């Protein structure tokens, strides 16, 4: 019988993130040698990386870093919430975020090619994939530069890490900016201003609004007004500055910022799995 204890199993699980049965099998194969067992788990894990590539990694966390006028958001994904709330996964996400900040990465491809401790982030994730036994990936990265940047992380469940992350670039009042960052987390705007909405999208919204109004039997002479109203409704739902403010629905976000002598410069919002 292999010479190892329950404490050895626990220590190896914590060190590798592998499941209990996998750890026991590795210790058996290694005859109780923890170093050799770690190597066995790594080799077996790496063999399974390709098999896991087709799996869905819809859990995970969003993490943020702000340094002066630069904010970075990174979404790191895994398969289960059990792994998402684990210490090893949190440490991995922190290392990935540090790499994104150091490289000035604004997209996942750039981040994955960034070197950390002599290996690129893609290799780092593959190794974590093998040790933990789940598909782990960086799905999205966002970066905002402005005179000032504030971040906000929101937990959708108290026992999980942050699932929603926001970075908001601005110039002006810090309290107002923090409130707007929280608003963005809750109301998920698509763009900062209506100027950022493509002409094709606006034209499509007008077409849909007109077709809908005709289907509803609205009078011909009323169509222009109805269409315009519905297009403005689209803007009010998707454009940050035109949304009704979370803390005061009588005001738009633009109005709240104006009252605080604050100018919005840009934002990014990530939600795990979306």
Q: How confident is the model at residue 197 (pLDDT cuts 50, 70, 90)?
A: very high
Instruction: Read off the DSSP letter of residue 80.
Output: -
Residues 72 and 94: their CA atoms lie apart, in Å, by: 12
CATH class, range 6-47: mainly alpha
Taking residues 124-152, report their average pLDDT: 90
As a whole number, mean pLDDT of residues 98-115 equals 95
**Predicted confidence (pLDDT) per residue in 141-182, tens digit:** 999 999 999 999 999 999 999 999 999 999 999 999 999 999
Q: According to the model, what pLDDT value does residue 80 have?
A: 85
- Beta strands (DSSP E) in the chain are 59-67, 70-78, 115-116, 119-120, 137-145, 148-154, 164-171, 244-245, 248-252, 263-271
The CATH superfamily label for domain 59-191+262-271 reads Elongation factor Ts, dimerisation domain (3.30.479.20)
Domain(s) of CATH 3.30.479.20: residues in the chain: 59-191+262-271
pLDDT in tens, 233-254: 999 999 999 999 999 999 999 9
Which pLDDT belongs to residue 49?
Answer: 42
**Confidence class for position 119, pLDDT limits 50, 70, 90:** confident
Domain with CATH 1.10.8.10 in the chain: 6-47
pLDDT given for residue 266 in this prediction: 97
Dihedral sign, CA of 16, 20, 26, 32?
Answer: positive
**Residue 39 · residue 124 · CB < 8 Å:** no
């Amino acid at each position: 019988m292999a010479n190892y204890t329950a404490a050895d199993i626990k220590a190896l699980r914590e060190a590798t993130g592998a499941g209990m049965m996998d750890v026991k099998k590795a210790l058996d194969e290694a005859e109780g040698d923890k170093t050799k067992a770690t190597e066995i788990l790594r080799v077996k894990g790496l063999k399974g990386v390709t098999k896991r590539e087709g799996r869905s990694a819809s859990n995970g966390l969003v993490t943020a870093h702000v340094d002066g006028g630069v904010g970075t958001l990174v979404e790191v994904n895994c398969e289960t919430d059990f792994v998402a709330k684990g210490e090893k996964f949190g440490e991995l996400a922190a290392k990935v975020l540090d790499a994104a900040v150091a490289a000035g990465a604004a997209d996942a491809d750039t981040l994955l090619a960034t070197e950390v401790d002599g290996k690129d982030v893609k290799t780092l994730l593959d190794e974590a994939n093998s040790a933990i036994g789940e598909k782990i990936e960086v799905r999205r990265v966002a970066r905002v530069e402005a005179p000032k940047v504030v971040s906000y992380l929101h937990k959708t469940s108290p026992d999980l890490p942050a699932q929603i992350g926001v970075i908001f670039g601005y110039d002006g009042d810090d309290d107002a900016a923090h409130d707007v960052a929280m608003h963005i987390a809750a109301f998920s705007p698509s763009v900062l201003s209506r100027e950022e909405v493509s002409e094709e999208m606006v034209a499509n919204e007008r077409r849909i609004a007109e077709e809908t109004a005709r289907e509803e039997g609205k009078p011909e002479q009323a169509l222009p007004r109805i269409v315009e109203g519905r297009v403005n409704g689209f803007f009010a739902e998707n454009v940050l500055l035109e949304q009704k403010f979370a803390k005061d629905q009588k005001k738009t976000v633009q109005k709240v910022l104006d009252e605080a002598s604050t100018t919005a410069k840009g934002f990014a919002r990530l939600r795990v799995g979306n």
